[in-house]
Structure 1
Amino acid sequence: MKKLVFLLILFGFIYSCDSKSDTVETAPEPTFYKGMDLSFQSELEDYNIPYKDADGNPIAILPFVAENGTNLVRLKLWHTPKDGENSLADVKAYAKHIKSQNMSFLLNFHYSDYWADPGKQNPPEAWKNMDTQEIRTAIYNYTKNVVQQLKSQSTLPEMIQIGNETDSGFLWDYGKVWNEFDNNWANYAALVSEAIKAIKEVDTNKEVKIMLHHSSVENAIFFFEKLEPFNIDYDIIGLSYYPQFQIKDLSLVQQKLNQLALNFNRDILMVEVAYPFTFDYEDKSNNYIGDSSQILSEFPATPEGQKAYFEWLVNAIKKIPNNRGIGFCYWAPDWVAFNGNETTSTSGSAWENQCMFDFDHKALPVFDIYGNN
């Protein structure tokens, strides 16, 4: 009898172990972000542009891109925009649309009233003539207010970038690190840290990843090395890669990406990328890209060449060591030519040949990259 009891207990123990082993949960696969910067949509949607799928059927752009694999949308924010676009009200409204489609949201603080990039980083007019301490207080208060408003409407971003293409710093001259200000890194780092502090005070559940954004794959190592002594608490290295402005040696691009991951132990997001599907144009404005010297010889300016480029890009990102390559974000895939105002329309678009929609506003084959990866 004792032997029978022992065998039953032993059998129960083995069964219990097997049952537990069957229910052990594996770690979830890390998200690979297939994003788009749709900052123009707050304006473009007012014009009822007839976007279409590949078969020519009318679509609503945000549900369409979500259904076709987009899982991240980036929006830029200007402080007090003179033309009224990319305001906090715009961002808050469109953020609700993004979340309704179950996509992640990346907020891009420009800390300017207009475009900010390596060649211009103008502070908001409201912040001019402040002293050093006042500008630090201003960036803290402004950042905290924006993030709190987004959190209050249940649209807290999954990612926030502190400035746009800040190779030369931002909030010139307070945080400028270029030319005669090349010894000003401590002030730049202090401003960035104030913004991060504000975000973290709102983000009490630690849901937001912080990004610093550099415009150049080839020069980013120097930038992030200069920041190392300041121990800035950021999570993601954001990079732009536009071949017409950067190295075209693809093996060297891969090498630089790999080195960034190894040197700084941060995730890498290719946060601004695009590629032309033609050299033609459909408006009265010169395009940023118009001839073969501006693109990669491996990928022609055709719909299939555009798709092949993104196949290469996704592969390159996924080759970054230690799974540090987390995705990409197509810049302005929706900025097609159309009849509207001069800022973003037929009179002024310099981008329609780099969109993800052709001149009939039909979805191009590059959408396959979103669905297949």
Structure 2
Amino acid sequence: MILTVRLFLSSCVVVFLNGALGCATQNMPSATTVTTPTMPATGFAKGADISWLLQMEASGYKFYNASNQAQDCFQILKDNGINSIRLRAFVNPSNDPIDGHCSTAETVAMALRAKQWGMRVMIDLHYSDSWADPSKQVKPAAWQGHDFATLQTDVYDYTRQVMNALKTAGVTPEWVQVGNETPGGFLYPEGSTANWPQLVQLMNKGYEAIKSVSSQSKVILHVDQGNNRERFRYWFSTATTNGAKYDVIGLSYYPYWLKGSPDYTLSINDLGANMNEMAATYGKEVMVVEVGGEDTKAQNTYDMLVAVQRSTRAVPGNKGLGVFYWEPEGARSWSKYALSAWGNDGKPTKALSAFLVE
């Protein structure tokens, strides 16, 4: 049964536009020559969150390699050193091309493609119908008005549903995030850091649901401003005191957004020191699950990515698991996003090749 799904997706990728189910042809490995998926890479994760990809393809966007040949984005990423894919998941998203999609069905379809290309998979559960980040953690519409006990059940059931959908399709995510950039918590107001005991109960429901389906999947808790040591000391010490269950400390690092210090050389040492401290203090593995730099400053972004990878690899005890670029393929011409690693010519900038550096 899994083989049948895989063969279908080798020539057709499920896409959802305007509420309709459709099919997008891809230049994936031929079903006549690929009978089993390429074995996933191991070791240091060189990753990319490419959750916009289905919508970009459905809109007709074309990706080109260095030789100006149209090519599957997965192939281009792989040729530039990417071995892992991160996918965000929204609960009941809209069909908006930028702020919607990323439903369970779409996430599973993308995870299957990643597996076929020999990529490792990370799932980023936002627990919202759209973006969740430090500025907003909005409950899914279907969960509004639920009391705290019901909200815990919502988190457990939804998380288990996503994990089971992946398992049924033959995908075992190596990592799963419970929440996205949660310095203030998630599922406000019940899960705010104003009420840490409740926040931890909600996070632990996510942890328990993940482990009930896939005990080997590593659970990530994710906080932004990876260079901000005080932020991480407070957050993870308080989470630990309240009994939070997790396996990996996830960090975002965007020098572009740091007030007063957009030059990465002013904060890269703090990022490395923070990862070292977190790993030593809590005995956990660490990972930069989001990083990005300006698309118009490709050399600077390249240098930054090399430095971030080196800092992560340098965490003692091999506890630095990897680095994920956030939407490198999300070209500004399509997304209006300034921190991709793609140019207006449809090709990756030099920045992406930083993942070829060992």
Find the aligned partners of 2:332 and 2:80 in 1 and give their Cα distance: 23
What is the DSSP-based 3-state SS (H/G/I as helix, E as strand, rest coil) of the residue aligned with 2:305?
A: helix
- Rate the CA distance shift 1:356–1:244 in 2: closer, same or farther, 3 A: closer
Matches within 5 A, 1:36-185: 36-83=48-95, 85-177=101-193, 181=194, 184-185=195-196
Q: What is the alpha-carbon distance in structure 2 between the residues aligned to residue 270 and residue 337 of structure 1?
A: 23
1:198 and 2:214 matched = no
Residues 1-373 of structure 1 mapped to structure 2, 5 A cutoff: 31-83=43-95, 85-177=101-193, 181=194, 184-203=195-214, 206-217=215-226, 218=228, 219-246=231-258, 248-278=266-296, 301=297, 303-338=298-333, 345=334, 349-351=335-337, 353-373=338-358
Deviation of 1:254 after TM superposition, in Å, equals: 2.2
Structure with higher Rg: it is: 1
Measured in 2, the distance between the counterparts of 1:252 and 1:90 equals 37
Aligned length: 305
More off after superposition, 303-312 vs 154-163: 303-312
Amino acid at match of 2:167: K
Listed as ranges, the gaps of 5+ residues in structure 1 are 1-28, 279-300, 339-344
Deviation digits for residues 271-316 of structure 1 (CA, Å, limit 9, x no counterpart): 11011141xxxxxxxxxxxxxxxxxxxxxx2x22221111111111
- Counterpart CA distance in 2 for 1:134 and 1:306 is 44
- The alignment's TM-score, normalised by the length of structure 2, stands at 0.81
The answer to whether the 8 Å contact 1:55/1:362 transfers is no
Contact 1:237/1:268 (CA < 8 Å) preserved in 2? Answer: yes
SS at 2:47 equivalent: strand
Q: CA deviation at 1:244?
A: 2.9
Structure 2 CA distance for partners of 1:372 and 1:252, relative to 1, 3 Å: closer
Q: Is the 8 A contact 2:332 2:340 kept in 1?
A: no
Counterpart amino acid of residue 221 in structure 2: L
SS at match of 1:143: helix
Q: RMSD in angstroms over aligned alpha carbons?
A: 1.7
Q: Deviations over 1:21-74 (max 9, x none)?
A: xxxxxxxx9610100000101211112322111232221101221233211101
Report the counterpart of residue 341 of structure 1 in structure 2.
none
Using the size of structure 1 for normalisation, the TM-score is 0.78
Counterpart of 2:63, as a letter, is Y
Q: State the distance in 2 between where 1:105 and 1:170 align.
A: 23
| Contact 1:189-1:232 at 8 Å conserved across structures | yes
Letter in 1 for 2:317: N
- CA distance in 2 between counterparts of 1:127 and 1:160 reads 21
Query: Which structure 2 segments of 5+ residues have no match?
Result: 1-40
Contact 1:42 1:86 in 2 (8 A): no
Matched letter for residue 350 of structure 1: K
> Which secondary structure state, in structure 2, belongs to the residue aligned with residue 79 of structure 1?
coil
Distance in 2, matches of 1:253 and 1:34, equals 18
**What is the alpha-carbon distance in structure 1 between the residues aligned to residue 75 and residue 269 of structure 2?**
36
Shift of 1:122: 0.7
Instruction: Give the aligned residue type for 1:310.
Output: L
The answer as to whether partners of 1:276 and 1:306 remain within 8 angstroms in 2 is: yes
1:99–1:155: 8 Å Cα contact kept in structure 2? yes
4+ residue segments displaced more than 4 Å:
none
Q: What amino acid does structure 1 have at the position aligned with 2:79?
A: E
Q: Please say if residues 168 and 176 of structure 1, whose CA atoms lie closer than 8 Å, have aligned partners that are also in contact.
A: yes
For the residue of structure 2 that corresponds to 1:58, the secondary structure is: coil
Instruction: Give % identity.
Output: 29
